[in-house]
């Protein structure tokens, strides 16, 4: 063995070892970064999908109707009986329907099309106007502009979501000839070339069993349905408006990819809603009703007010019960209780309680509060108590951690000047731990705010159309409302659900912001 071997071999090994160590460090950093990016990416995807969905529900289409408040229709009992007026939904609805029928007289022709036109507005949509007139009786007899939200399916169609269609600019139509069967022959050199090409593309996209796509042609307020289309001519069945509108006009063709029987809206309804928009009677406005209306079976009228109030009442009960109990228990366990088997047992079980699935608390609440104590079903009172049971182990654990973090020197300083143990705790330790205690309490409340499962079991899932006035009233809460809405079949509920989720997230964000604020404001160094 020579010296060179003895000195170089260990150092080469050491160099290899060092290289491996550095590589391990580097790899670990990359794992960490990857983990962070995956987490952030998931969050971004979540917010984006919910956000875009919710964005479409943030506005909705309303239609303006010029109606004359005929006393005979809306106040048959006299204008001085506001209660009757506000309840006279049928009368106001009649005015709206008559206005629509006057705008589109062709709907008078048969019952089906009359019904299709009446579907534009739900009866209950006139309720705000009825209340307005009831409160201002001087309006009776005058002509007002009544605004009512458009039916949810048509609303979705106008937002481009309900029906898959392809818009194509048609060429100039040179002549319109009426036929004996009420249809019109439109012709013009190459007028429908683009439409024929579009149809060819569409037939490739479509499934085999789907029916023939409908082609609608719109010029101004007039719309017709095309058939027998070739490059230079097509037969048109007029749906609304006048056939002359198409002459010399460059009309817009819409290839609607699903057959009429598969859709929730008919060709005629599409024609009418396009006409209303062309007349400038449709406005897309912010949907404040999401915050000011309560739940409804009609998506265009539904809002979350009752659930928001229900959530606030429930949180109030939870806070009133869980925070004092949790904080006092934590202070006692941390500062006063002797360390022995009993307190250890209690400690372990508080931790166990925090890990119990929330639905079990719902069962407990149903059995204890409703069946045994006879409290009202579906009430925020019971919901709050159930959530309090669920929250207070969290509060205890967070508060104990905060109390533990107060340095012992503060305690001995206070004891050394002759403070009693209780004075030490309440004059010095608890004030110092307060930001931490509040943080824990608010985070526990935020978790309770988002809780659904236990509330289903105590009946808070019921449909609630009225804003609860007290914690004993029937009520629901935001997450349960989201759950109920997501179970609804109609497509319009989808963006509404997302919008409600955004509102819930906003509440949670406010609570978390409060936590950060409190911590920044009251955190003290020692």
Site for other proteins, rule CB under 8 A: 338-339, 407, 409-420, 423, 427-428, 432, 524-526
> Which residues, in sequence order, are bridge partners of residue 176?
186
Distances (CA, A) of 348 to 343, 355, 393, 426: 9, 11, 11, 26
| 220 phi, psi to nearest 5 deg | 60, -130
> Smallest distance, Å, CB 417 to other proteins?
4
Nearer to other proteins, 334 or 451 (CB): 334
Nearer to other proteins, 372 or 526 (CB): 526
Nearer to other proteins, 218 or 424 (CB): 424
Distance of CA 465 to the CA centre of its chain: 17
Among 46, 43, 60, smallest CA distance to 496 is for 60
From start to end of 230-377, where are the E strands? 233-240, 250-256, 282-286
> Smallest distance, Å, CB 470 to other proteins?
42
Measured between alpha carbons, how far is 58 from 78 in angstroms, rounded to an integer? 39
Nearer to other proteins, 331 or 458 (CB): 331
| 525 phi, psi to nearest 5 deg | -90, 150
The DSSP letter of residue 225 is E
Nearer to other proteins, 417 or 489 (CB): 417
Nearer to other proteins, 338 or 374 (CB): 338
Nearer to other proteins, 95 or 429 (CB): 429
> Smallest distance, Å, CB 339 to other proteins?
6
> Smallest distance, Å, CB 335 to other proteins?
11
Nearer to other proteins, 211 or 413 (CB): 413
> Smallest distance, Å, CB 347 to other proteins?
15
Task: Output the six-digit token pair for 210.
Answer: 């789907």
Burial of 373 (0-12, 13-18, 19+ CB in 10 A): exposed
Distances (CA, A) of 469 to 159, 369, 380, 466: 36, 20, 10, 9
Distances (CA, A) of 40 to 48, 246, 357, 502: 12, 54, 27, 18
Measured between alpha carbons, how far is 344 from 333 in angstroms, rounded to an integer? 10
> Which residues, in sequence order, are bridge partners of residue 64?
147
> Smallest distance, Å, CB 437 to other proteins?
16
> Smallest distance, Å, CB 326 to other proteins?
24
> Smallest distance, Å, CB 419 to other proteins?
6
Nearer to other proteins, 404 or 469 (CB): 404
Nearer to other proteins, 6 or 339 (CB): 339
Q: Summarize the chain as % helix, strand, coil (round to 5).
A: 60, 15, 25
> Smallest distance, Å, CB 344 to other proteins?
13
> Smallest distance, Å, CB 341 to other proteins?
14
403, 433 contact by CB (below 8 A)? yes
Pairing of strands 175-178, 183-187: antiparallel
* CA dihedral angle for residue 298, residue 301, residue 305, residue 307, rounded to 10 degrees: 10
Measured between alpha carbons, how far is 365 from 375 in angstroms, rounded to an integer? 10
């Amino acid at each position: 063995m020579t010296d060179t071997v003895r000195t170089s071999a260990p150092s080469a090994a050491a160099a290899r070892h060092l290289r491996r160590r550095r590589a391990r460090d580097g790899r670990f950093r990359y794992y960490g970064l990857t983990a962070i990016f995956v987490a952030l990416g998931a969050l971004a995807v979540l917010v984006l999908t919910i956000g875009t969905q919710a964005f479409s529900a943030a506005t909705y289409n309303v239609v303006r109707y010029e109606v004359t408040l005929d006393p005979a229709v809306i106040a048959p009992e006299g204008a001085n009986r506001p209660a009757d007026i506000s309840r006279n939904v049928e009368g106001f609805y009649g005015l709206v329907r008559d206005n629509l029928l006057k705008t589109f007289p062709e709907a008078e022709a048969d019952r089906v099309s009359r019904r299709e036109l009446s579907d534009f507005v739900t009866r209950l949509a006139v309720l705000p106007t009825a209340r307005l007139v009831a409160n201002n009786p001087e309006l009776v007899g005058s002509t007002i502009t009544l605004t009512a939200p458009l039916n949810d399916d048509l609303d979705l169609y106008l937002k481009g979501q309900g029906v898959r269609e392809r818009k194509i600019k048609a060429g100039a139509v040179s002549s319109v000839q009426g036929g004996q069967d009420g249809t019109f022959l439109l012709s013009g050199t190459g007028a429908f070339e683009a439409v024929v090409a579009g149809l060819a593309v569409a037939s490739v996209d479509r499934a085999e069993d789907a029916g023939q796509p409908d082609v609608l042609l719109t010029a101004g307020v007039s719309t017709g349905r095309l058939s027998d289309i070739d490059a230079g001519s097509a037969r048109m069945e007029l749906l609304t408006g006048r056939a002359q509108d198409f002459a010399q006009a460059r009309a817009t063709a819409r290839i609607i990819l699903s057959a009429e029987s598969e859709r929730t809206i008919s060709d005629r309804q599409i024609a009418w809603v396009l006409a209303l928009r062309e007349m400038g009677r449709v406005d897309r406005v912010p949907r404040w009703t999401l915050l000011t209306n309560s739940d409804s079976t009609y998506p265009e009228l539904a809002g979350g007010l009752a659930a928001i109030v229900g959530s606030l009442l429930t949180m109030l009960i939870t806070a009133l019960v869980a925070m004092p109990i949790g904080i006092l228990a934590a202070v006692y366990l941390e500062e006063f209780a002797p360390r022995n088997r009993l307190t250890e047992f209690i400690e372990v079980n508080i931790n166990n309680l925090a890990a119990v699935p929330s639905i079990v608390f719902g069962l407990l609440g149903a059995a204890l509060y409703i069946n045994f104590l006879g409290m009202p079903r579906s009430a925020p009172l019971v919901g709050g108590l159930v959530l309090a049971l669920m929250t207070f182990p969290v509060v205890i654990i967070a508060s104990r951690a905060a109390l533990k973090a107060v340095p012992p020197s503060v305690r001995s300083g206070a004891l050394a000047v002759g403070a009693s143990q209780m004075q030490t705790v309440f004059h010095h330790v608890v004030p110092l731990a307060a930001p931490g205690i509040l943080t824990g309490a608010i985070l526990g409340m935020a978790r309770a705010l988002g809780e659904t499962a236990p509330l289903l079991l105590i009946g808070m899932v019921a449909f609630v159309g009225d804003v609860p006035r007290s914690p004993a009233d029937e009520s629901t809460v935001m997450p349960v409302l989201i759950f109920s809405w997501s179970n609804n079949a109609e497509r319009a509920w989808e963006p509404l659900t997302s919008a409600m989720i955004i509102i819930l997230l906003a509440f949670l964000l406010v609570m978390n912001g409060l936590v950060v604020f409190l911590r920044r404001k009251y955190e003290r160094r020692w």
